[in-house]
């Protein structure tokens, strides 16, 4: 098949290389030559996309206002121009599509498929995010994860995988959730369940707290109940789950880490995008 990969960071670079390794024709645009590996991948200045079966736009698709995200390119491309050049018959995938881009595409009668919204992408991304969290815990605290008393708040994708990995490293894992069903899963996997009725009274027990819930779980009152030597990591997207200003006032060390998957493991992330694109193409009957 003929693929075009336009813009993006090291994940898109690796994606292009992986597609080429699988035997596809791949044209990469808006990535400077020095970043692209040797091999079957070609790249050109202007967007010549005739005959392209599938176009892959970056994650997130928009960088600065109105521009395609192209951190590895010395030139810049507007989203409008980019969409204007896309062949309407191609399958077009993009990550984290914002309303403005969505609107521009509708105008051009293009259907954009958001690969960030695919569940399998989100799960695989959570694997990288959880490892990124482990690495931060290892590098930012002066103790081993082994034997660490740790609380993970939230038992969604990242919470589930992070608990699993912490357990594999020998930590004493507690997980907080509100729903009975989540608490049952927490118990089933061998972690200590912390329900809303006991959360406040158990906060002083933990060496490390990792939040994954995008809601203000840790306000002043709970921050005050933490162990004096605690270290906190917030993985939740905006607005985060910890009151950062109060934490700073109280001297509670907090690190807010977003975008871990792309940072810790761009090659794995590129492979995850590839697998997701393949699933999309299969469902669209194009592969």
Binding site for a copy of itself (CB under 8 A): 10, 14, 118-121, 123-124, 126-128, 131-132, 134-135, 138-139, 141-147, 161, 164-165, 167-170, 180-181, 183-185, 187-190, 264-268, 279
Q: Are 29 and 44 in contact (CB under 8 A)?
A: yes
CB of 126 to a copy of itself, least distance (A): 7
Residue 272 CA to residue 259 CA, distance in Å, equals: 15
Q: At what angle do helices 157-168 and 119-140 cross, to 10 degrees?
A: 50
Could you give the C-alpha distances from 17 to 4, 5, 23, 28, in angstroms and in order?
Answer: 12, 10, 10, 10
Could you give the C-alpha distances from 181 to 36, 141, 184, 185, in angstroms and in order?
Answer: 47, 32, 5, 6
CB of 186 to a copy of itself, least distance (A): 10
CB of 122 to a copy of itself, least distance (A): 8
Residue 55 CA to residue 4 CA, distance in Å, equals: 5
Chain-centre distance for alpha carbon 236:
11
Compare residues 51 and 259 and give the one whose CB is closer to a copy of itself.
Answer: 259
CB of 123 to a copy of itself, least distance (A): 4
Which residues fall within 8 angstroms of residue 72, CB to CB, at 6 or more apart? 8, 9, 10, 13, 30, 31, 32, 35
């Amino acid at each position: 098949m003929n693929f075009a990969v336009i813009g993006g960071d090291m994940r898109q670079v690796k994606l292009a290389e992986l597609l080429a390794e699988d035997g596809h024709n791949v044209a990469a645009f808006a990535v400077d030559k020095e970043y692209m590996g040797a091999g079957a991948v070609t790249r050109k200045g202007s967007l010549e996309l005739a005959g392209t079966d599938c176009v892959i736009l970056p994650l997130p698709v928009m960088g600065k206002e109105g521009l395609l995200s192209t951190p590895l390119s010395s030139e810049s491309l507007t989203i409008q121009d980019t969409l204007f050049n896309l062949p309407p018959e191609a399958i077009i995938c993009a990550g984290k599509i914002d309303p403005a881009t969505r609107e521009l595409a509708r105008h051009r009668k293009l259907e954009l498929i958001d690969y960030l919204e695919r569940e399998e992408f989100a799960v695989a991304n959570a694997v990288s995010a959880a490892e990124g969290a482990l690495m931060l815990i290892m590098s930012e605290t002066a103790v081993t994860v082994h034997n660490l008393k740790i609380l993970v708040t939230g038992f969604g994708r990242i919470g589930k995988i992070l608990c699993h990995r912490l357990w594999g490293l020998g930590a004493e894992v507690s997980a907080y959730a509100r729903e009975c069903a989540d608490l049952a899963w927490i118990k089933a996997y061998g972690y200590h369940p912390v329900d809303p009725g006991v959360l406040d009274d158990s906060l002083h027990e933990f060496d490390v707290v990792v939040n994954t819930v995008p809601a203000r779980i840790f306000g002043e009152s709970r921050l005050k109940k933490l162990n004096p030597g605690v270290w906190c990591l917030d993985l939740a997207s905006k607005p985060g789950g910890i009151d950062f200003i109060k934490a700073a006032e109280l001297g509670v060390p907090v690190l807010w880490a977003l975008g871990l998957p792309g940072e810790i493991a761009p090659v794995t992330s590129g492979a995850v995008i590839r697998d997701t694109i393949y699933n999309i193409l299969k469902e669209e009957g194009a592969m």
